[in-house]
Amino acid sequence: MFDLGLSQGGAEEGEEAGEGALRRYRIAGAGNGADMIRPDVMQAFVDAFAEAGFDITLRPTEFAALQSALKAGDFEVGQSGWSGRVDPDGNIHQYVTCEGSLNDAKYCNEEVDRLLNEARQTPDTQARIPLYEEAQAILGALGKELYVDEEGYLDMATALSGTGPAYVFLFMEALIAAGVHMGFSRRIAQELVYQTIEGAVAIARASGAHPTELRNQVTSPGGTTAEALYQLEKGGFRTVISKAIWAAYQRSRALGEMGEK
């Protein structure tokens, strides 16, 4: 991957470059990896343009930061391109191997390492396919995969899904405690809560209906469910959940920024 963001300056600050004047450009280049731009290649780039009367200043930029600059319009000319890489190695190896430089989750499976290392050492494209498929089968056991276009979505997924089990466990804990408070044994209260949550998820997934519609279907006017939901809304249930997830999102972003320093 290689990206360029160009901004032009005059011969002096605030001065338009006249005919024959040296044209000054600042170029931000980004790619993948810590050594994303080879100094010798970039120097050749500078030298070639200098012969044509361009004064080039190069500024290596982290890819996500460059994309933010492009989105903000902080350039006069911008170009972004993808290498067209179709082999999965560059999109998976660094993220899931034990020593992968981008394996922030610290996932480690020696069999996955073996398969991916063998795949990247195999020149035959067709021979690599079953190796990737076998590795993917192992990784798929961790859960369903959703592919996103922007890296920023990963922080959102961390807050909503990665941290999500703790929200569910806390809710389950509160339900079980309420059951015990009413007089159930902990064993019975726990089983009732497990069955309730499993059943609710199964219905939601099978029906495909919006959760609001499903909630309305099981809420009788003036009934027990309506009274319970009233108390939850009165206590700020939605607001607390929203604030908790937003706090997790902000924390994930902060940890990511700390890791880049």
Residue 44 included in any domain: yes
**22 vs 56: CA distance, rounded Å:** 10
Q: pTM of whole model > 0.85?
A: no
Same domain, 102 and 177: no
Residue 151 included in any domain: no
Residue 46 included in any domain: yes
Same domain, 39 and 76: yes
Residue 153 included in any domain: no
Residue 156 included in any domain: no
CATH of the domain at 172: 1.10.3730.10
| Tens of pLDDT, residue by residue, the chain (261 residues) | 344 444 444 444 434 445 545 555 555 555 544 445 566 777 777 788 788 777 777 666 666 677 677 777 776 666 555 555 556 777 788 888 998 877 777 889 999 999 999 998 888 888 989 999 999 899 887 777 777 767 778 889 889 988 899 999 999 999 999 999 999 999 999 999 999 999 999 999 999 999 999 999 999 999 999 999 999 999 999 999 999 999 999 998 888 777 666
Residue 37 included in any domain: yes
Residue 154 included in any domain: no
Same domain, 75 and 104: no
Same domain, 97 and 37: no
Residue 120 and residue 161 in contact, taking contact as beta carbons nearer than 8 Å: no
28, 49, 81 — which closes off a domain? Answer: 81
Same domain, 69 and 32: yes
Same domain, 220 and 252: yes
43, 60, 81 — which closes off a domain? Answer: 81
Report the domain count for the chain.
3
The predicted structure's pLDDT at residue 86: 59
Same domain, 166 and 224: yes
Same domain, 181 and 138: no
Q: Is the dihedral of CA 110, 111, 117, 118 positive or negative?
A: positive
Write out 159-173 in H/E/C secondary structure: HHHHCHHHHHHHHHH
Same domain, 58 and 96: no
Q: Find, among 96, 80, 183, the residue nearest to 135 by Cα.
A: 96
Residue 155 included in any domain: no
CA separation, residue 45 to residues 10, 19, 27, 31, 228 (Å): 21, 23, 11, 16, 68
Same domain, 211 and 178: yes
Same domain, 76 and 130: no
Same domain, 56 and 103: no
Q: In what order do the strands lie in the sheet with 54-60?
A: 54-60, 23-30, 2-9, 77-81
54, 81, 108 — which closes off a domain? Answer: 81
Which residues form the domain of 137?
89-145
Structure tokens at 102: 């981008």
**75 vs 99: CA distance, rounded Å:** 37
